[in-house]
Amino acid sequence: MLRIGNVQLASNLFLAPIAGYCDLAFRLVCRSQGGLGLACTDLLSPQGLLRGTATSLDLAQTNDVDRPVGMQLYGGDPETMAQGAAWAAEHGATIIDVNMGCPVDKVTKKDGGSKLLCIPETAEAIVRAVVKEVGDRVPVTCKMRLGWHDCQPVAEWLAPRLVDAGVSAVTIHGRTTEQKFSGEVSLDGIARVVEAVGGRVPVIGNGDVREPQDAAEMIRGTGCDGVMIGRGALSTPWLFRDAWALQTSGVVPPAPSVEDRILLVRRYFDLMLEFRDERYAMYQIRRRITWFAKRLPPCKPLKEAIRTAAGPGEVWSVLEAFASGELRSRPGYGDDAENQADAADTNPSRTLSAA
Ligand SMILES: Cc1cc2nc3c(=O)[nH]c(=O)nc-3n(C[C@H](O)[C@H](O)[C@H](O)COP(=O)(O)O)c2cc1C
């Protein structure tokens, strides 16, 4: 069983932060399927939390079912990060994570995200300040990339220093900042970080896990202690259940029925209506249906009908019609080549350009 500091996790599988996607409603949907050890909020601005801006408070939403939960902070100023961590610890965070992987200009220009890989002394100072502020209450972790430049690995050198500074776990996305989301994740790069940390704290591997076998392969191929899954979970919220079952029993359970998958979409939408408002719930379901539909062929009628739905009533009707088979069997919407192509062409990295 995996422990992070004093926090015992039920599995070694983590839901990644994906800005704009891994909100409270989605975290609860993933949790409902089982197998999830720790879920994390999307990246949060400590200044926003401290000022109490509506956007930051929405992003930091959590509740008693949403446990254990990591709250991820970004920034380049140790003192502000420490104050933000104190806020997070007082507002439900089980773990505080420091973002050292975000490649987006808005974040790196202010010395946050993966810029910290270029200024390791600041990265260390942030970890020390955050651990000093909240370390007696909650463990502090960091999530980083392999380095900024493709030719210059940093993580294997920096990770042990951050352990010295007090982090209780390191998550490593096996790409550089230059790569953003292109190319394949480097299992060798992750393995080098595992080796460098030498078992002092858990190392969590991350990148391109879409099937339960990918998680098993990452653990086998790198020696990492756990696996973090991002985009794969957006289409397959039961991926944690499957990956955990594969690790513990060697068998992947049967996939949920179409009806059960539709229920998950409905659950997500209803929770969004409950936690936020109708406008935001409609915005989210229209953009996210692309992901859910990847596992709901024929996906074209479902995506089209949700995208054009006028309000919640219509979303519910569309989901019901899809579950009953009525929408799937409408003329022109068979399981044809167009639908196959549509499913195959739903490239997440094209629709998700942030972070
Ligand atoms: C749109 C988008 C937003 C992301 N937002 C965050 C973020 O807020 N914090 C973070 O540490 N990583 C963020 N990431 C990176 C993911 O957590 C993860 O490291 C990356 O997607 C690789 O894992 P995956 O292949 O399982 O998705 C983001 C990735 C994407 C595609």
Q: How confident is the model over 259-264, as a mean pLDDT? A: 97
Q: What is the pTM of this model?
A: 0.94
182-190: long-range pairs with CB below 8 Å, 24+: 182/349, 184/208, 186/146, 187/217, 187/218, 187/221, 187/222, 189/146, 189/153, 189/155, 189/156, 190/218, 190/222, 190/224
Given 3-state DSSP classes, what are the helix, strand and coil percentages for the chain, each rounded to the nearest 5? 50, 10, 40
In the predicted structure, residue 246 carries a pLDDT above the cut 90: yes
User: Taking CB atoms and a 6 Å cutoff, what residues make up the pocket around ligand 1?
Assistant: 16-19, 42-43, 72, 99, 101-102, 143, 173, 181, 206-209, 229-232, 352, 354-355
In the predicted structure, residue 354 carries a pLDDT above the cut 90: no
User: For a pocket test of ligand 1, which of 115, 173, 190, 290 has the largest count of ligand atoms closer than 8 A to its C-beta?
Assistant: 173
In the predicted structure, residue 337 carries a pLDDT above the cut 90: no
- Predicted confidence band of residue 247 (pLDDT cuts 50, 70, 90): very high
118 Cβ contact partners less than 8 Å away, ≥ 6 residues apart: 148, 154
In this predicted structure, which of 138-147, 167-176, 330-339, 341-350 has the lowest mean pLDDT?
341-350
Distance between Cα 16 and ligand 1 center (Å): 6
Distance between Cα 325 and ligand 1 center (Å): 34
**Which residue puts its alpha carbon closest to atom 26 of ligand 1?**
230
**Residue carrying structure tokens 């991926």:** 239
CB 163 within 8 A of CB 113: no
List 22, 102, 142, 224, catalytic entry: 102
In order of their start, the domains of the chain are: 3-249 (3.20.20.70), 258-351 (no CATH)
Mean pLDDT of the chain: 93
pLDDT for position 336: 53
d(CA 35, CA 281): 26
- Predicted confidence band of residue 328 (pLDDT cuts 50, 70, 90): confident
Decide the pairing of beta strands 3-4 and 7-8. Answer: antiparallel
CB atoms within 10 A of CB 336: 12
**Which residue puts its alpha carbon closest to atom 4 of ligand 1?**
18
Distance between Cα 128 and ligand 1 center (Å): 25
pLDDT for position 1: 80
Indicate if 102 belongs to the active site.
yes
Atom of ligand 1 nearest to the CA of 354: 1
Atom of ligand 1 nearest to the CA of 353: 1
User: In terms of Cα–Cα distance, which of 189, 177, 240, 199 is closest to 28?
Assistant: 240
pLDDT tens readout for residues 13-58: 999 999 999 999 999 999 999 999 999 999 999 999 999 999 999 9
User: In terms of Cα–Cα distance, which of 171, 168, 101 is closest to 140?
Assistant: 168
Q: Which two tokens stand for residue 178?
A: 């230059």
| CA dihedral of 245, 247, 249, 250, whole degrees rounded to 10 | 110
